[in-house]
Structure 1
Amino acid sequence: MVSILITGGAGFIGSNTAFYLCSRGFKVSVIDSFERSSISFEELLGAGIRVFRGDVKDTSIISSILQGVDVVVHAAAYVDVAESMAKPLEYLNNNVIGTASVASVCFNRGVGLIYISSAAVYGDPIKLPIDEDHPTKPLSPYGLSKLLGEEVVKFYGGLGLRFTILRLFNVYGPRQNRSYAGVITRFIERVKAGLPPVIYGDGLQTRDFVHVVDVAKAVELAIEKKLPQQILNIASGKPVKIKDLAYMVIKLSGLDKEPIYTNPRPGDIKHSWGSIAKAEEQLNYKPSINLEEGLKNLYENWSF
């Protein structure tokens, strides 16, 4: 049985990946500080997952729980673009130092690493769709922190660390909470309160939404394929205008209101659309949940 440790395992992406891998027969452990968790310590334990409370910046904690672990999935991070603009040093400290801690311990212990990065590393695209060779020029401290994390991982890769970097586009799905403040979260919260969605900008900006279950499946494929030092986009491969997304959520709610438009937010990119050709070729990755299906399920099961 393959043993996996997920950092940030109580967060949105980490917890969904933990439950999915557990259901697929992996031995799963998670570590999380639980300061921004999407799920409780007890819920994880109840699913048969080993749970550790701790800060990934502490190398002694990571080292102490790596016995018998085959692969670490490093998902621990602060992830709010807007918050990162207000607290840049906090983001750089938490995300970059945390990644350096995990990568160094994995290297020293001979454990493989899957680093959960972000399409935020690209910044505003100069071509669409965005492939993995696209220049990186992040527009926010969050994007910068993920890019610096990649550089740390690649540094240790040069010393012999086995790694795969997954650049996730706009992830959504169950247990998405306020600390993972994506546009879908905000739109659903508004319509559940009887209020129209608020759009920053003209609504013509695009995003590539990928369901968290498809992300978890991509992680499983990366574990199985053991790709040597690869960077892969994980997306749906289909861009959606934010304005169209707002109307999809309004339709689900039955709300008879129009979206409200306000000023663009600093740090937000205009367009995002990921090429998944490399992931399709190297991982046999195929997104399985379309946006309409995923939104409907998320809206009907919303509990925040």
Structure 2
Amino acid sequence: MNDGSTFESSLSDAEVSADLTDRTVLITGGAGFVGSHLAEALVADNEVRILDNLSGGTREHVPAGADLVEGDICDEETLTDAMDGADLVFHEAALVSVEESVANPPESNRVNAAATVALLEQARDEDARVVLASSAAVYGHPDSVPVEEGDPKEPTSPYGIDKLSLDHYARRYHDLYGLETVPLRYFNVYGPRQNPEYSAVVNVFFQQAADGGPLTVEGDGEQTRDFVHVRDVVRANLLAATTDRVGEPFNVGTGGSVTVNELAETVVEVTNSDAEITHVEPRPGDIRHSEADISKAREELGYEPTVPLDEGLRALAETRGLR
């Protein structure tokens, strides 16, 4: 499966995943965005099993050689069957929309928090390591950037609260039961296969460019974000799968940030678009600045982001036929 997501780097994915062979690997949400890229990286040397209800992912994203268990992670029997014999779990399944979590907090809690506890319980039975997708949403409005893992957590949405709960459960399951857990706090992930219904700003700008514009920037556009390519997120997951530093969270970003204005300008450039950039009313409650301090991931995981934003956006434009 080649969709423009391959980049040259000093450390190949094969080298990163060298110790991940002959494992039984479960990827929840593995037909979705990050999960399908993980499956693709692991399927050649491992038995890869995917649990997905296909609400956000698609069968086409499941690589050849991986087994798809179609079902709801919240269903106990389905989860038990999917976990059977697993050595390693990448937990990517989630209700990822902040807006949906605000509209329906019980459903967000069911999918993002309660299902995580059920999965950790199953992992105890299987003695499986669990790498979990957390989020920068746990920090809320940071006092300053870049944000370190130990900085205050004041999530501003049910989604952020649920992800903070995931972080706490991951640590406590390690401390109380010896379960090997590694939560990864993703910042603004982008790249091929991102669900177009998820209104991430990169997706929105690319669609607006494809439609001829304008690109609509909320507020003054000087808010900043740390945009990390899905390839680098996969590399962080692979490193987390073998690290000795378990039971503690890691930021996954680039360690840098750009303004939303700069992002819009870059999208216009890489898509060879004549679209104008306009400004609309700011989104209520929008976080002003977000940027990851990745020192801990660098030092303890050996993580290093490899995809510059302009390169990642250019490849994404090619994938979408916009160059």
Match of 1:6 among 27, 31, 46: 27
Letter in 2 for 1:71: L
Give the conservation status (yes or no) of the 8 Å contact 1:204–1:241: yes
Letter in 1 for 2:51: I
Structure 1 residue ranges (4+ consecutive) displaced by more than 6 angstroms after TM superposition:
none
TM-score, normalising length from structure 2? 0.88
Give the conservation status (yes or no) of the 8 Å contact 1:82–1:265: no
**Which residue of the partner structure matches residue 131 of structure 2?**
114
**Which residue of the partner structure matches residue 12 of structure 2?**
none
SS of 2:93's partner is: coil
2:251 aligned with 1:233, yes or no?
A: yes
Deviation (angstroms), 1:8: 0.6
Match of 1:192 among 210, 216, 219: 210
Give the conservation status (yes or no) of the 8 Å contact 2:131–2:181: yes
2:72 aligned with 1:55, yes or no?
A: yes
Structure 2: distance between partners of 1:110 and 1:11? 25
Give the conservation status (yes or no) of the 8 Å contact 2:26–2:51: yes
Match of 2:94 among 72, 77, 85: 77
Give the conservation status (yes or no) of the 8 Å contact 1:132–1:233: yes
Query: Which residues in structure 2 correspond to 1:8-157 (within 5 Å)?
Result: 8-23=29-44, 25-37=45-57, 39-40=58-59, 43-44=61-62, 47-157=64-174
Residue deviations 1:132-155, cap 9 Å, x none?
A: 001111112211121122222233
**Which residue of the partner structure matches residue 230 of structure 2?**
212
Would you say how many aligned residue pairs link Structure 1 and Structure 2? 300
Name the CA shift for 1:256/1:43 in 2 (closer, same or farther; >3 Å): closer
SS of 1:4's partner is: strand
Which consecutive residues of structure 2, in runs of 5 or more, have no partner in the other structure?
Answer: 1-21
Letter in 2 for 1:10: A
Structure 1: distance between partners of 2:241 and 2:275? 45
Deviation (angstroms), 1:268: 2.5
Letter in 1 for 2:196: R
Deviation (angstroms), 1:302: 1.7
Deviation (angstroms), 1:112: 1.2
Give the conservation status (yes or no) of the 8 Å contact 2:146–2:293: yes
Name the CA shift for 1:286/1:267 in 2 (closer, same or farther; >3 Å): same
Structure 2: distance between partners of 1:258 and 1:95? 38
79-88 or 68-77: bigger deviation: 79-88
Which consecutive residues of structure 1, in runs of 5 or more, have no partner in the other structure?
Answer: none
TM-score, normalising length from structure 1? 0.93
Q: Percent of pairs identical after alignment? A: 39
**Which residue of the partner structure matches residue 18 of structure 2?**
none
Deviation (angstroms), 1:226: 4.0
2:304 aligned with 1:286, yes or no?
A: yes
Deviation (angstroms), 1:66: 2.3
2:316 aligned with 1:301, yes or no?
A: no
Residue deviations 1:102-124, cap 9 Å, x none?
A: 11111232211111100011011
Structure 1: distance between partners of 2:104 and 2:289? 24
Structure 2: distance between partners of 1:180 and 1:99? 21
SS of 1:166's partner is: strand
Structure 1: distance between partners of 2:29 and 2:252? 19
